[in-house]
Structure 1
Amino acid sequence: MTGEGLLVDGISKSYGPTNALTDVSLAIRPGRVTALIGHNGAGKSTLLRSLSGAEVPDSGSIRIDGEAQSFTGPRDASTAGIACVYQELSLVDQLTVAQNIFLGQEQVSGGVLSRRQMNRRADELCAEYGITARATDLISSLPVAQRQMVEVARAINQKAKYILLDEPTTALEEQQVEHLLGIVRRLVDEQGIGVLLVDHKLDEVFAVADHVIGLSGGRIVLDGSVEDVDRAAVIEAIVGDHGSGPVDTAAVAAIVGDGLGETSLESVETVSEAARAREFGAPVLEATGLSGNNLHGVDLTVHAGEILGIYGLVGSGRTRFLRTVYGAFPLAEGSLKLLGKPFRPKSPAQAIKAGVAFLSEERKFDGFVPQMSSIENVVLPVLGKYIRGGVLRWRALKGSADDVLSQVSIRGQVSAPITSLSGGNQQKALFARATLQAPLLLLLDEPTKGVDIGAKREIYGIIRTLAAEKNVAVIVVSSEEEELTELADSIAVFRGGSCDGVVYPRSSVTAAQLRELAWADASPASAGPSAP
């Protein structure tokens, strides 16, 4: 591969037995937007981390404008002209806009920070790119959309020649998305910057990109101009089964032209609300027209004793829905009912009191208190139940904690800080906490993330026991199709912050069909006939 641009040739990256990237070659050209699309786990994040210096590929090479590169860290990539704006923003809340923009590249004059000069430049960037904040404003005071633009402004200020954008529109409203995409086109057209845009939303891809690259299973399966590839071909490239080899644009178009992309969902059945009520129990949670925090008209019901899986792409609204039900996010529009009664929690404490338990996707961030033992973490939500006359009945509380911990087979010292346990045992401790709460409704966000296969099987057993023996209504968010088709009784699909309430029995939907449902533009209600 020769010529100008950021050129990747044969990159591979493995984590143990898992091949995250296999022989990936692509080009990011100056003055062009290259869209990178792919399903959850396709290898997009690994590729971005490899290009930004956060990961070192096992093999392959990277060249920038003809010069071979060898990155040992993000600073090397930044020096070479690459800036990456991750979905999880890297700004420091306690610093100002200007301090964040110049972080690591502060301007100094005579050994003293040139604060006035940096503030002036930051104000210029804010004005040029539609950031309403001032240079001296704290980042923590800015809304998400403005923080996203500060990240972009920082990349521009670093004089990056190539900018990698990881799902930049996930948390933005429609008007904010249009503004950001307009900025991207300006950077490309006016400054000749090369942009790699990771995006799940095909409307955005076709609105701003010049070229589209599809990843599936760590391999490139689609590589072509947006003028030559239609949406159906893109979806087929992503959700189809391509084996171990790449699929060129013409081949994918031919597959779609034969009608396979149109008929693959015909065998998918849906299950009616009445049938679910007969099989399980009364509705525990009913969401109707739920909106706010980038949710748009979510309709969903889960019954006592039912394990309802929620599937969708990153940014589809799955986690926002769980956190809204849990009271962590405000409910703007629509209604929730818990056991048939209006339910509008204003805080997690209110949700817990009403009988809702929640396990976060990021247990190390907001799932537990690291310095506390497993026992102390387990009892936190129920302390109030063990207080009599202003005195905590610790012996009774510890006895209850020991009992639930024994039920989940913790391997390790439960009296030591919870961080001393393995990831799987940390997660089982959190399930013990949920069990101690005796919830009506259990919300699980990626409950087996970061655990080994043995712990995963044990966690499945815990979930099934809670549903079948305790009659708990369980909602499970998972990015793993196989996990949902094995664990859940029923599956609903989120797309673009919305869910229409259509539910599929796990026996009627395959992993590939779930992927297609997640990417489809049409309503999943049209996918197939309803079961009685």
Structure 2
Amino acid sequence: MTTEATAPGLLVDSISKSYGPTRALSDVSLLIRPGQVTALIGHNGAGKSTLLRSLSGAEVPDTGNIRIDGVALQLAVPRDASDAGIACVYQELSLVDQLTVAQNLFLGHETVNGGLLSRRQMNKTADELCAEYGIAARAGDLISSLPVAQRQMVEVVRAINQNAKYILLDEPTTALEQEQVDHLLGIVRRLSADQGIGVLLVDHKLDEVFAVADHIVGLSGGRVVLDGSAAEVDRAAVIEAIVGDHAAAAASVEDIVGDGVGETSLDSVETVSEAVRAREFGRPVLEASGIAGNNLFGIDLTVHAGEILGIYGLVGSGRTRFLRTVYGAFPLGEGELRLLGEPFRPTSPRQAIKAGVAFLSEERKADGFVPQMTSIENVVLPVLGKYIRGGILRWRALKGSAEDVLSQVSIRGDVSAPITSLSGGNQQKALFARATLQAPLLLLLDEPTKGVDIGAKREIYGIIRALADEKNVAVIVVSSEEEELTELADSIAVFRGGACDGVVYPRSSVSAAQLRELAWAETADRV
């Protein structure tokens, strides 16, 4: 007799995972069936990434186990998952830019003939795979020369080429245009139906979920709150599962559907007009109107001097792309930006910095600081030009200014040592010191407390509030933590599918659950 524990497929059997006091997964169970697409949905921080890392061998659950066809697996490292036939395609692609398409496709699984690499055979197979899956590239092309959509497909095809039985896709359509999305989803359907591969698709876009999924599993608060056939559960049930108060216990499809789906708590949410914000704060610092291009589809937004404006939205909703567009890191397509009432169209970060815009990246280790430099040297980088007289850098004055702003943010550690010697929270505070030294009009913060402990988070909140209240800086904060925005921001706007309608909610009138409902419900309305 076949039970769930022995059923064909990749079974997650009652796994739990905690990071210190934070419970990321609680008794999670689900079955990824061969030849089917299982969609995994949930709001930011619901536990989706932790589940993927557990399945891919990057994390080891505290309790529970993972089985394939009834056989328990020991997934201590990613190689264990690969050997078991599990491949994970993360949103941050793992391809090596300096290698060719063929080299990436066969990386770790090279074809060997007589003890020598069979480059000709690998190139031939790579060309065949590119043709079969619609990748507009040749085996010898460098991965760095391919657009994002093509790199995404190479990553998927690499998993196929390594004979994966189960493929985990983490938000694979985030950076793709609609035509590219349709192509990728077609490949996903083909893999499951024709080749019998079990697919776990993490996706926030409900139209994509219902277009391709056979089964839908919803997570909220680290627990399974929805588990049912895509043919039996409707969009309203999905929204209710994700944004409702189901985190305390799992719920069946019948429970959710019969629990008042369609009712909404959004009727009580207040908005605040531009006129009221203008009276409460200073003059508008940044005004965005109709910003489009680079997967943005119409951003209307205003932030005032002394105001902390929070931006909430699902992963891929355009939050980071918008900040990087304002900072000049991404090109501005359509629409208009105005800075202090004057047209503003930055073509580079240098130009934005000169105009009074400071930016703290979500990925501080990737593009936030120079690892080999000290904290002092990192802090002074954007303002070197202000300390040059007659072609000579006034280092003593510059160093004094850096030490002054570093002392204001209470760095714990040696600021004269490489910045990597500091803890994550102190690294982030050093970057806030750099922003302070720039004396910006506008400060753009992308997940400013990501990867820092609770104590450092509180200190960072104080720094942000001081910049707004005492320095009259206009601050835009992107955060995936609803509670962070409802505590820190003066007002909150919601991004949905690359768009923002300019509607702003005072933090006092919107709860964490209502923010999730705003993001998800409007996403559903667009399909």
TM-score scaled by length of structure 2 = 0.98
CA distance in 1, matches of 2:420, 2:81: 33
1:308-350: CA deviations, max 9, x gaps? 0000011111000000000000011111110111111010000
Do the aligned partners of 1:423 and 1:451 also contact (CA within 8 Å) in 2? yes
CA distance in 2, matches of 1:437, 1:305: 16
Q: Is 1:499 aligned to 2:503, yes or no?
A: no
Q: CA deviation at 1:244?
A: 2.1
Do the aligned partners of 1:96 and 1:138 also contact (CA within 8 Å) in 2? yes
The residue matched to 1:172 in structure 2 has which SS?
A: coil
Counterpart of 1:212 (choices 191, 208, 216) is 216
Counterpart of 1:98 (choices 97, 102, 113) is 102
Q: Is 1:47 aligned to 2:51, yes or no?
A: yes
Do the aligned partners of 1:304 and 1:467 also contact (CA within 8 Å) in 2? yes
Counterpart of 1:26 (choices 12, 26, 30) is 30
1:12-44: CA deviations, max 9, x gaps? 111111111111111000110000001111111
- The equivalent of 1:166 in structure 2 is 170
The residue matched to 2:300 in structure 1 has which SS?
A: strand
CA distance in 1, matches of 2:86, 2:485: 38
After superposition, the Cα gap between the structure-2 partners of 1:153 and 1:523, relative to the gap in structure 1 and judged at 3 Å, is: closer
Equivalence map 1:328-339=2 (5 Å): 328-339=329-340
Q: Is 1:132 aligned to 2:133, yes or no?
A: no
Do the aligned partners of 2:16 and 2:61 also contact (CA within 8 Å) in 1? yes
CA distance in 2, matches of 1:358, 1:244: 38
- The equivalent of 2:517 in structure 1 is 516
- The equivalent of 1:185 in structure 2 is 189
Q: Is 1:428 aligned to 2:429, yes or no?
A: yes
Q: CA deviation at 1:92?
A: 0.1
Q: CA deviation at 1:96?
A: 0.3
- The equivalent of 2:320 in structure 1 is 319
CA distance in 2, matches of 1:256, 1:493: 25
TM-score scaled by length of structure 1 = 0.97
- The equivalent of 1:119 in structure 2 is 123
Equivalence map 1:68-467=2 (5 Å): 68-257=72-261, 259-260=262-263, 263-467=264-468
Partner amino acid for 1:165?
L
Q: CA deviation at 1:190?
A: 0.8
CA distance in 2, matches of 1:410, 1:344: 35
Do the aligned partners of 2:206 and 2:524 also contact (CA within 8 Å) in 1? no
The residue matched to 1:255 in structure 2 has which SS?
A: coil
The residue matched to 1:271 in structure 2 has which SS?
A: coil
Q: CA deviation at 1:243?
A: 4.2
Partner amino acid for 1:234?
V
Do the aligned partners of 1:371 and 1:417 also contact (CA within 8 Å) in 2? yes
Partner amino acid for 2:211?
A
Fraction of identical pairs, as percent: 84
Counterpart of 1:65 (choices 61, 65, 69) is 69
CA distance in 2, matches of 1:129, 1:304: 51
CA distance in 2, matches of 1:392, 1:522: 52
Do the aligned partners of 2:331 and 2:347 also contact (CA within 8 Å) in 1? yes
Q: CA deviation at 1:75?
A: 1.1
Q: CA deviation at 1:452?
A: 1.2
1:73-97: CA deviations, max 9, x gaps? 1111111111110000000000000
The residue matched to 1:345 in structure 2 has which SS?
A: coil
Q: Is 1:483 aligned to 2:484, yes or no?
A: yes
Partner amino acid for 2:512?
A
Partner amino acid for 1:454?
G
After TM superposition, which residue ranges in structure 1, 4 or more long, deviate above 6 angstroms?
A: none
Greater CA drift, 242-251 or 220-229: 242-251
CA distance in 1, matches of 2:9, 2:455: 45
Greater CA drift, 165-174 or 2-11: 2-11
Q: CA deviation at 1:522?
A: 6.9
The residue matched to 1:68 in structure 2 has which SS?
A: strand
CA distance in 1, matches of 2:285, 2:184: 40
Q: CA deviation at 1:379?
A: 0.4
The residue matched to 2:57 in structure 1 has which SS?
A: coil
1:268-324: CA deviations, max 9, x gaps? 011111111111011100111111111111111101111000000111110000000
The residue matched to 1:380 in structure 2 has which SS?
A: helix
CA distance in 1, matches of 2:172, 2:341: 38
The residue matched to 1:76 in structure 2 has which SS?
A: helix
CA distance in 1, matches of 2:86, 2:189: 18
Do the aligned partners of 1:233 and 1:256 also contact (CA within 8 Å) in 2? no
Partner amino acid for 1:21?
L
CA distance in 2, matches of 1:211, 1:432: 48
Q: CA deviation at 1:214?
A: 0.3
Do the aligned partners of 2:223 and 2:247 also contact (CA within 8 Å) in 1? no
CA distance in 1, matches of 2:298, 2:471: 31
CA distance in 1, matches of 2:50, 2:296: 28
Do the aligned partners of 2:496 and 2:523 also contact (CA within 8 Å) in 1? no
CA distance in 2, matches of 1:59, 1:73: 17
Query: Once superposed, what is the RMSD of the aligned Cα atoms?
Result: 1.1
CA distance in 2, matches of 1:7, 1:436: 53
CA distance in 1, matches of 2:311, 2:415: 32
- The equivalent of 1:10 in structure 2 is 14
The residue matched to 1:358 in structure 2 has which SS?
A: strand
The residue matched to 1:406 in structure 2 has which SS?
A: helix
Q: Where does structure 2 lack aligned partners over 5 or more consecutive residues? A: none
Greater CA drift, 358-367 or 60-69: 60-69
Greater CA drift, 467-476 or 514-523: 514-523
The residue matched to 2:176 in structure 1 has which SS?
A: coil
